[in-house]
Amino acid sequence: MKNLSWLIFVVFSLFFFASCGGNENDEAAKDGGNDGENIAVSVRAAGESECTGMQLGCLSQQLAAISFQIRNGNGDTVFQKSVERKDLRNEIKLTGIKNAENATLIVSVFGTTNGAADLNTVKWQGKATGLKFEKGKTTSVSILLYPKDIQEKEISMPEGLKTPRFGHTSTVLADGRVLVAGGFTVCYANGKCPASKTVEIIDLESGHIEQLTDMAEERALHTAVPLNDGSVLFIGGIHTLDTNWQEAPFEGYPLMRYTPSTASVKIERYMPGYPKYNMKANGFGTPISNISEPMTPDSEIPFSTFQSILAERISDSRIDLFLVGGLDENGAPSGKSYRVTITESDDGQVSIGELTELAESSEPMLLPALAYSNGSLIAAGGRPTASEYAASIISESGSEDFGSSADNIFFMQSIEANGNLYTFGGYEVDKDTNSLIVSKTKYDSDGNETQETRLNRNRKWNISGKSVSAAKDLLRSYDANVIFPGTIHDQKNNRFIVIGGTNAANIYQVINTDSLVPYKEPTSHVMSDKRIMPSAAIVPAGVIGDTPIIVITGGSSALDDKGSAASTVKINNL
């Protein structure tokens, strides 16, 4: 895996003369004229080279040509030019750009194959949208070019997070930017990890990352819900995580490995500042102050620690928010579940409706995994040690238990997909010792398994069939549990991506959704950073190129005072 994350930086100063109707042989343009000035395009290409230079010559042997295309707001090409390798230099003058509103600049880099120019295959590509080219005015553009062949590799973006963090959220906005919010930044020697209220935004077109206004409240392990107008709801979360073992903090429950404390009580609506980096740099678009305002629900919402939250988009204008388990007003584990409906109106108004209490489950649940399908809510794991069941199906009319006690898992990560609940890793319960199982599976001298702890199995919880199936292959780790990985569903390929987590902190794994086993060999690759509690977001095709990309942010090397949060931002084609 050597050099997979190596980056080569090449900076071009491109002189775009926005002379309406001009051409690249225009003498005034050659002399500089007064119709426009330079555009700076940052080209960052992944490769195996050890080249560390910042000049064009450092990469020129890998290039065949670079093309520049500008399309107007109607999608019509109004400018196009290719520059072959023999003509490449650090300053390239381009003329004949027509006036264009809401324009898109696309930069494509063609490489070489077996040492020969390959002008049929784009090796790197990037674009900037919402641009304005006008005669006599300067348009400055910064573009990050993405390699086209980086599947199953992780590539670093040129800038890192301003605030390294873990346990945060990454939310894809309507314009393709990624909003990163909250999380923890450090764990102290006493085992406490305090939450942050900081927010920043990743502009994938330019490659720039900017710090924004803080949230109104510190929160980590919270829920982020993107709204139609580009704003984001931040819901729930905790203020502190205690990473020390707790001596059976609740009656009927095992010793706890992690304890969240002080639930965030506000639902806040965060409105990121607009426009995007390139639009702002050129003084167009409509700037909006970064604002975060607390929402006022119609009734009090009982947020608590050890509570799981699921936001389900029911329609274009409706989101149902489910709150399940956690601690009641007396600090005891609860089996209660609630639903709150969030409504978006056409004029941008957002309202939070009345609280509806669903049927209470037969047993309390702490941090259960959640999914919603066909009007039913499934809550799995986090039940008392003596429980006979692992999950409940909950609605307004009733609650039904199912699943074996062997599947009663704690601190598992989950994904709702294909009408099912999928879970990854977590701690199982040893009923004899009333503790969470953390040791590796043991084998006898013949290699036979002597105890079935089933550590790190991937599970599929079928809601309609009320069944649980566990994959025979373990999640790859260092013979111990995987807790707090980043998990996301790659819908394009119908695969799950599992990133890091305790005891697998530097491993990136891809899981087949049908069989729940690794989809191909090799099953995973080693990342350059250890990442516990990272966050991942999938940016749809069309934002940068014709392929969705995954953006991986944050994560800690360890959940103690010896750990450090990652600032590097990684990308990968899907």
Query: Please, are residues 352 and 296 in contact by the beta-carbon 8 Å criterion?
Result: yes
CA gap 245, 267 in Å, rounded: 30
Q: What is the pLDDT of residues 1-53, one digit of tens each?
A: 333 223 333 334 444 433 333 333 333 333 333 343 334 444 444 333 333 33
Domains 7-147 and 155-573 share a fold: no
Report the C-alpha gap between 552 and 534 in whole angstroms. 7
What mean pLDDT value characterizes the chain?
A: 83
Distance separating alpha carbons of residues 119 and 96, to the nearest angstrom: 23
Integer Cα distance of 574 and 568 in angstroms: 19
| Distance between CA atoms of residues 301 and 322, nearest Å | 11
| CATH architecture designation of domain 7-147 | Sandwich (2.60)
In this structure, how many other beta carbons lie within 10 angstroms of the beta carbon of residue 214? 16
- Beta strand ranges found along 426-506 (DSSP E): 428-430, 435-437, 457-462, 467-474, 486-490, 495-499
Closest CA to 96 of 82, 113, 75, 81: 81
If one compares 536 and 63, the residue with the highest pLDDT of the two is: 536
- Indicate the domain borders of the chain: 7-147, 155-573
Q: State pLDDT tens for residues 279-304.
A: 887 777 776 777 888 898 888 999 99
CA distance 316 to 219: 27
Over residues 101-121, the mean pLDDT reads 84
Least-confidence region, from 20-24, 71-75, 488-492: 20-24
pTM reported for the whole predicted model: 0.89
Q: Which residues, in sequence order, are CB contacts of 447 under 8 Å at separation 6+?
A: none
The CATH homologous superfamily to which domain 155-573 belongs is Kelch-type beta propeller (2.120.10.80)
Percent of the chain with pLDDT strictly greater than 90: 48
Q: What is the pLDDT of residues 218-270, one digit of tens each?
A: 999 999 999 998 899 999 999 999 999 888 789 999 999 899 999 998 899 99
